[in-house]
């Protein structure tokens, strides 16, 4: 039996190790702390940060499954490891290398806690319409005689991979009945969204012409627990972090190492690969990377300037509440998955 991957790194170790110092530590600045006396920077081993237990685990058919963690590693992380090394050693990249690198960027953009919280907020608003569309499609199939399962009295169907429970109730001899669709917002809907985006939507990223850019001499790129920056940039000092994968003239910035970052301005002539940016451009990009962080900024050294770009929040209650929510994450979602997913294989 294969060992279950419990410790899910939402920022892969193969990526973060680019920021290891000579002592094999990475320096972490937290944007939320419980006490003013918490050190500004703390060194950590790469294996000890940017992970959450059971972040991607699901309960399917009565057992815990790490298929998503395994899939992310097989399809995105492992292929990219050698390419990340090529980038940071200034080796020439082939078209296939770029394909792998862009896939890695896409996966890194959708798998973080920052994206999870965005999904939970968005799904609460969008799911009623999604369920209504599902019901309309099922009704159409029934009317066309294509959905025989709906004719079975009190039959419950659970459709994988979306956590959907469809229940019908038709009285014996009746011409009409009740068709009910239920779901919940949580880990399974997020994982469903991750799969859909990476298998379908991410193709748009391959249509862009990417560059590798370097910081000005004497500067180093930091990175964070939300490392893919999607930027709407209007002019120096005027921008927002609400960009997207296909927004014309939008920018996407993804640090690959302290001296290398993927960059694209969508729809515009690409920057010459390997360009070293000016001090002003570098400073602004560093500021944007720090602002885009969720709860952690990572650096190769104890950079005294980075904390000045984003003052940390000192609030014990907020931190304890967030920690408790993530502590209960697996238990709460497992209960729902046992209802909505566990018997899918037998449906």
What is the residue extent of each domain of the chain?
A: 7-119+188-330
Tell me the C-alpha distance between 244 and 246, whole Å.
Answer: 6
Tell me the C-alpha distance between 10 and 225, whole Å.
Answer: 8
Q: pLDDT value at position 142?
A: 62
Q: pLDDT value at position 164?
A: 74
Chain centroid to Cα 214, Å, comes to 25
Q: pLDDT value at position 2?
A: 64
Chain centroid to Cα 61, Å, comes to 25
Sign of the C-alpha dihedral computed for residues 21, 23, 25 and 27 taken in this order: negative
pTM comes to 0.88
Q: Residue 146: how many CA atoms within 13 Å on its side-chain side?
A: 6
Tell me the C-alpha distance between 168 and 179, whole Å.
Answer: 5
How confident is the chain (347 residues) per 10-residue block, as mean pLDDT? Answer: 84 97 96 97 97 92 88 97 96 96 98 95 84 72 58 41 72 71 87 93 95 97 98 91 92 97 92 91 97 98 96 97 95 90 49
The conformation of residue 75, written as its DSSP 8-state character, comes to I
Q: Rounded to the nearest 5 degrees, what angle is found at the Cα of 99, between the Cα atoms of 286 and 250?
A: 40
Q: pLDDT value at position 162?
A: 72
Q: pLDDT value at position 152?
A: 43
Smallest Cα–Cα separation from 119: which of 196, 189, 67? 189
What percent helix, strand, coil does the chain show, rounded to 5?
45, 20, 35
Long-range contacts (CB closer than 8 Å, 24 or more residues apart) made by 228-231:
228/105, 228/108, 228/109, 228/252, 228/253, 228/254, 229/253, 229/254, 229/288, 229/289, 229/292, 230/109, 231/288
């Amino acid at each position: 039996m294969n060992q279950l991957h419990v410790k899910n790194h939402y920022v892969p170790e193969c990526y973060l190790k680019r920021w290891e110092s000579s002592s094999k530590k990475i320096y972490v600045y937290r944007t939320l702390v419980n006490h003013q006396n918490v050190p500004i920077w703390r060194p950590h081993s790469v294996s000890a940060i940017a992970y959450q237990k059971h972040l991607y685990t699901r309960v399917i058919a009565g057992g815990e499954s790490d298929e998503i963690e395994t899939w992310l590693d097989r399809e995105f992380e492992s292929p990219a490891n050698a390419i990340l090394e090529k980038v940071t050693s200034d080796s020439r990249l082939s078209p296939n290398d770029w394909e792998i690198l862009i896939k890695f960027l896409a996966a890194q953009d959708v798998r973080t806690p920052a994206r999870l919280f965005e999904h939970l907020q968005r799904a609460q608003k969008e799911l009623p319409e999604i369920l209504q569309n599902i019901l309309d499609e099922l009704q159409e199939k029934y009317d066309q005689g294509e959905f025989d399962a709906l004719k079975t009295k009190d039959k419950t169907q659970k459709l994988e991979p979306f956590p959907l429970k469809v229940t019908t109730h038709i009285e014996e001899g009746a011409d009409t009945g009740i068709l009910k669709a239920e779901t919940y917002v949580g880990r399974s809907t997020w994982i469903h969204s991750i799969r859909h985006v990476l298998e379908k939507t991410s193709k748009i990223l391959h249509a862009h012409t990417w560059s590798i850019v370097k910081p000005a001499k004497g500067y180093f790129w930091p990175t964070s627990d939300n490392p893919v920056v999607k930027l709407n940039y209007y002019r120096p000092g005027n921008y927002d972090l609400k960009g997207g994968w296909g927004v014309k003239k939008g920018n996407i910035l993804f640090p690959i190492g302290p001296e290398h970052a993927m960059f694209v301005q969508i729809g515009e002539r690409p920057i010459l690969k390997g360009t070293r940016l000016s001090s002003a451009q570098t400073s602004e990009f560093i500021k944007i990377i720090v602002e885009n962080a969720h709860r952690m900024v990572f650096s190769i050294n104890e950079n005294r300037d980075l904390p000045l770009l984003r003052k940390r929040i000192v609030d014990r209650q907020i931190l304890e509440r967030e920690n408790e929510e993530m502590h209960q994450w697996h238990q709460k979602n497992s209960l729902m998955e046992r209802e909505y997913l566990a018997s899918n294989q037998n449906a």
